Amino acid sequence: MECDTLEFSRHALMKMFTRGITVDDIRSIVNLGEIINDYPDDKPLPSALLLGFIDNKPLHVVLARDIQKKHCIIVTAYVPDIALWQADFKTRKQ
């Protein structure tokens, strides 16, 4: 993901704190993670759901991005629940 600048929403910081997710974890997912869902019509900015692994544990990061400025805003981050996601953590269960 091309993000020259990274901003954390207040919501993201609160959720990260309560879920034990670090800024370094987020940076790793932004740099090395895979886009598993793209939401180009989201407002005010297009967003994406990323999947990455930290210490072999899956992590989802939702970010909004200003593609022209290469500025990304972290919306939230969470460990995906296996009850809601397939074993690959890329596909939501029906």
Per-residue pLDDT of 24-72, as tens digits, reads 999 999 999 999 999 999 999 999 999 999 999 999 999 999 989 999 9
Between CA 61 and CA 6 the distance in angstroms is: 13
3-class SS of residue 80? coil
Q: Which residues pair with 38 in a beta bridge?
A: 48
| Closest residue by Cα to residue 88 from 47, 46, 61, 60 | 60
Domain boundaries, the chain: 5-78
Please say whether the beta carbons of 81 and 68 come within 8 A. no
Report pLDDT for 94. 86
Q: What is the CATH number of domain 5-78?
A: 3.30.2310
pLDDT at 78 over 90: yes
